[in-house]
Structure 1
Amino acid sequence: MDTELTFSSRRSPVVSLHGCVASSQQLASTVGLDVLKQGGNAADAAVAIAAALAVTEPCSTGLGGDAFCLFFNGNTGEIKGINGSGRTPRGHTLDFLLSRGYSAEAPPPAFDVLNVTVPGAAACWWDTVQLFGSHKLSLQEVLNGAVELAEEGFPVAEVTAHLWAHSLAVLRDAGRDLGGDLLIHGHPPKHGQVFKNPFLARTLKEFGERGKEAIYQGRVAQATVDIIAQHGGVMTLDDLKSHQSELVAPISTTYKGVRLWEPPPNSQGLAALLLLNILENFPLKDLGHNSSDYIHILVEAVRLAQTDASHYVGDPDHATVPVKALLNKSCSRQRSKLIRMDRFMEGVEPAPMTGSDTVYFCVVDCQGNACSFINSTYHCFGTGLVPKDCGFSLQNRGAGLSLQHNHVNCVAGGKRPFHTIIPALVTDCATDPQKPRLLASLGVMGGMMQPQGHVQVLFNMLEFGMNPQQALDSPRVFVKYDHKENQWSVNLEEGIKPEVADALRRRGHKVNWPVTGHKRSEFGRGQIITVGDWWNPSVNHKTHPSKVLWAGSDPRSDGCAMGY
């Protein structure tokens, strides 16, 4: 399989006045922009994009996965979130897993049916439109673009074709095959090959006509329960029928005049905020962008923040998460004292998991509303199990649960697992605290890369004056824990200087450099829309705020930003 992927083009940021979308698929971005032009708002367009991505990038997302949403109300300045993550079946208890012969040291394999949690995406789409939408368009109208893509077919994009083939190879190595719904004559579609998904078109039509009931009751629910039962799972129709999204209050912290908003636990948004609080104590701009000093500080802070998150973040319905205490600035300052420029910390325990196949996208409309949205099936096609005649695969998000009885993420019936996926918003914090000014909607998907990605692209703009496209183009760093070797590694993308890698090695870091080609996917794929050019150091955005929308789309994916 060809693993090369060269970045041969340079893109300018997209600028517009009336509305803007950014996603990992050009066709999905077009669908979202069409909804804005038809009178829909940012929430409507986000759901349209979510559905279109379920068609055009099914290896990463779909109705069989989970979703999170943050919505900024342009009229009130209020920010609300939806936790669209699903729960384990009620019968999926620790005793049940132990009786099956599994243990903390030997949990179910990643693609096992026992890792299927209730898919929360459909309910999240429905609730996003109902709670935040314009109500000028019906759900059926919002989904029309995706239905058309599924029925008429679409040419598969380059990066997606690679992910599709890679995902299928991984699944087959694990003894799983997607079946006919998501393949063409048993093979993944090639770049430019037209793919149709009539089963998903039917499912989306039913969803548009009947709402959540079409997914969590009836034909689709029965097909979901049937395939899970066939492979030894315990999900029931009642598990699906009782699923509800949760309306949540986002959590936030400040950094040099801006406020970063993230979803609360069971998502890992807390890790991004802890990371900001720690890094606020260091002169990062003076250290230089992607210098060895800058990256060293970033690496140490990531280890601290993600270790804390792994110890505390879980389903708040099953455990108390001390979010306020962990976000306390004095606490973060104490944590920062543990970082030394001349040594590599020892004894930091790992986060529970790495890797993710996910889509992140964002929308800002002409009313100043913003929707930051993320949707995932976790690993490639999730479990790879496809309910009969439904056109989507079921996620394996249950792999985020532990079989250690005293762990915050210990498995239990009806429990939401630790969740990697996080959308973000950025506002100012210098004006009226009751009505903050929107600065950006942003996100970077990719498992444990996500909080690191949020902070790196934010710093690229805030500390180093990059526009949104430059902030995404810039080479990134991914700090991850290698469970096989029992140590942390520092992965540096091609474009970071070799002398920087050498300097980090001298400091004791295990460095992987350069990461090139399709392997760059581990650094995530992001999207950004900013309101005004507040990141431009030559502009006083406080006295001359601009309504111009600036947007960027990650070159590591197939998509684009579009505006009008």
Structure 2
Amino acid sequence: MRNFQIPGRSVAYGTQGMAATSSPLATLFALEILRNGGNAADAAIAASAVLCITEPHMTGIGGDCFALIGKRDGTIEGINGSGRAGRRADADWLKSARLTSIEPRSVHAVTVPGAIDAWAALLARHGTMDLQEALKPAIKLAEEGVPTTPRVASDWAQEVADLAADEGARLHYLVDGRAPRQGEVMRYPALARTLKLIAAKGRDGFYAGEVGEEIVATLKARGGLLTLDDLAETKASWVEPISTSFAGVELLEIPPNGSGLTALIALNILKQFDMAKYGVSSIERYHLQIEAMKLAWVLRNRHIAERAAMTVTPEELLSDKTATDLAALIDMKRAVVNPENKIPMPGSDTVYLTVVDRDGMAVSFINSIYWAFGSGIVTPKSGIALQNRGANFVTEIGHPNCIGPGKRPLHTIIPAMVRAQGQVDMSFGVMGGAFQPMGHVGVMLNRYVYGLDVQEALDFARAFPEEGRVEVEAGVDEAVHKGLAALGHDVVAAADPFGGGQAILFDRAQGVLAGGSDFRKDGLALGL
């Protein structure tokens, strides 16, 4: 239970449904749909569309999405709504382009937006509404305007230079050449018109006709490869989740090209240690979590790609042998340095939301344009910020994740779901680019090893190993700073908080839903 003498949030409870998002308006509209008879799939799509208006730097219809859908009977399926590189991005093009990487703000980082097709597919399979109904709240807000919330205003102000460099971005996402101020109302008339076309014509209102033509023309003018055929062929994939057991429960993730596999590998490593004997805020807990993620990250970078391109299977990476071999590399007295050299080769922006309805359907949903405002390329007429997911490709020919025609890149966004005793136990996610697998591992430890409630599990102070350093949030105790440094970690203060998160827990003993929403964002969890 939280300490009521210090700032914090209480767990939200409900009996007839719940929504947790990073925007109060998205949460409220999701609940309104549930209250009016819609289900969790309807509410999730409506909330995602609203987030495109309230957090346009984090998400948009020019991006991708993934979702896990859990049913009352405990079955869970996934949908992969990530887009692909253009068909013309072949080896001959790559050689002639002489690219050493796909730069995040370059036109070649723009992959086909997969979200709208996935929204339509999810509603068709699990919803009670179509896009016309689900998009009504977002259209209303885009036309009438929304106040800019504090975290959004803070993030937006850091992107002015990149936005000013693009015609469409200047037009739709700057006010007299500046970012909107906290509380300032922003309207998106061009995006409202685009959403109305999608509402009227379905997914083809985005991928064909005037909107699709403008996307292709905007990219072509910058040397882009995408064609109308690339857009038209976009199709979301229904997938079977991958999973591992941990602390008596099962964590499920979207399979590759998603990077949820990274979290599962790290948890398998941590299973080799008695985590419960270390305190929740102990140096040992932080050290082990950091080391496990460093080792899992090596395998992520080497192997995770579109499933058909992988040369090592997820099953191999999740094997007991892989876990024990990696765990043996961890020294409780010293940090692993250059973990890439110790593992032999074999023979950061997003929104997350979760909704549960009165019938027990849970939707774990994540939508993103990757970097803030994606590629920074915005279509002038339709107001669409185009994602830069292609920046996750590599250009090394022969690498599983090398850019290629019609190929999906390694993806950072990962929704999660936990199953216990055959039933959905928790739907959760932690946004924040590359941090997300670390966030999933942290929530799993906090909830299922240390017994924290869903709000405490999200609020817990975070650390993340990246580029040879360990960045720690301001909430990490100074004794942990010193203890990690003494173990050889290069500890530095994080410039920004790590992501955000949402979670809904099925408290079956009391017959209620318990929800949490990360304080690092502007949102909240509310129940019916």
Residue type at the aligned position of 1:525: G
Secondary structure of 1:317's aligned partner = helix
Q: Which amino acid aligns with 1:501?
A: H
CA distance in structure 1 between the partners assigned to 2:114 and 2:312 by the alignment? 22
Once the two structures are TM-superposed, the CA of residue 170 in structure 1 deviates from its matched residue by 4.5
Identity of aligned residues (%): 41
Aligned to 2:525: 561
- Work out whether residues 181 and 389 of structure 1, in 8 Å CA contact, stay in contact via their aligned partners in 2: no
Aligned-partner residue type, residue 506 of structure 1: A
Q: So what's the TM-score if we normalise by structure 1?
A: 0.89
* Counterpart in the other structure of 2:187: 196
Q: Does the CA-based 8 Å contact 2:120-2:130 persist in structure 1?
A: no
1:474-493 equivalences in 2 (<5 Å): 474-480=460-466, 482=467, 488-493=468-473
Q: Which amino acid aligns with 1:54?
A: C
Residue 371 of structure 2 is matched in structure 1 by: 379
Deviation of residue 101 (structure 1)?
3.4
Which residue is 1:536 aligned to?
Answer: none
Within the alignment, does 1:29 sit opposite 2:27 as a pair? yes
Q: Residues 217-265 of structure 1, C-alpha deviation per residue, up to 9 Å, x if partnerless?
A: 1111011001001111111000000111111000001012110000000
Q: Distance in 2 between matches of 1:318 and 1:505?
A: 39
| Structure 2 residue corresponding to 1:458, chosen from 441, 444, 461 | 444
Which of 125, 140, 144 aligns to 1:131? It is 125
- For residue 177 of structure 1, report the CA deviation from its aligned partner: 7.0
- Equivalent positions of 1:390-469 (< 5 A) are 390-428=382-420, 431=421, 436-469=422-455
Counterpart pick for 1:527 among 497, 502, 505: 502
Matches within 5 A, 1:41-80: 41-74=39-72, 76-80=73-77
Asked if the contact 1:203–1:390 (Cα under 8 Å) also holds between the matched residues in 2, the reply is yes
AA matched with 1:79: I
Q: Does the 8 Å CA contact 2:167/2:380 hold for their aligned counterparts? A: no
Q: Give the aligned length.
A: 517
SS at match of 1:363: strand
Q: Contact 1:279–1:336 at 8 Å: present in 2 too?
A: yes
- Please, which of 198, 204, 214 is the counterpart of residue 213 of structure 1? 204
Residue 241 of structure 2 corresponds to residue 250 of structure 1: yes
* Partners of 1:467 and 1:94 in 2: CA distance: 50
Deviation, 1:94, is 3.5
In 2: Cα distance, 1:109 partner to 1:66 partner: 19
- 2:298 pairs with 1:307: yes
Q: CA–CA distance in 1 between the matches of 2:132 and 2:196?
A: 7
Runs of at least 5 residues in structure 2 that lack an aligned partner in the other structure: 1-5, 342-347
State the 1:320 CA deviation.
4.3
Partner of 1:5: none
Shift of 1:546: 3.2
Moved over 4 A (4+): 174-177
Q: What are the superposed Cα offsets for residues 405-455 of structure 1, whole Å, 9 maximum, x if unpaired? A: 121111111110010110000111xx3xxxx21110000011221011011
Q: Distance in 2 between matches of 1:326 and 1:108?
A: 27
Letter in 2 for 1:450: Q
1:207 shift after superposition:
1.2
- The match for 1:485 is none
Aligned-residue CA RMSD in angstroms?
1.6
Take 1:418 and 1:139, find their aligned partners in 2: how far apart are those partners? 28
Q: Deviations over 1:183-207 (max 9, x none)?
A: 2233221110111111111111221
Structure 1 counterpart of 2:344: none
Deviation at residue 142 of structure 1 after TM alignment: 1.3
- Give the Cα–Cα distance (whole angstroms) in 2 for the partners of residues 28 and 256 of structure 1: 33
- 2:113 equivalent in structure 1: 119
**Does the aligned pair in 1 maintain the 2:82–2:114 contact within 8 Å?**
yes
Distance, in Å, in 2 between the alignment partners of 1:379 and 1:72 is 29
Q: Measure, in 1, the Cα distance between the counterparts of 2:97 and 2:462.
A: 42
Give, in angstroms, the shift of residue 391 of structure 1.
2.2
Q: Deviations over 1:40-80 (max 9, x none)?
A: 11111100011000111110100111110100012x32111
Structure 1 residue 179, shift from structure 2 partner? 2.2
Matched, 1:508 2:508: no
Work out the CA distance in 1 between the residues paired with 2:190 and 2:166: 24
Distance 2:451 2:362 in 1: 23
Q: Answer yes or no: is the 8 Å Cα contact 1:421–1:450 preserved in 2.
A: yes
SS in 1 for 2:340: coil
* 3-state SS, counterpart of residue 369 of structure 2: strand
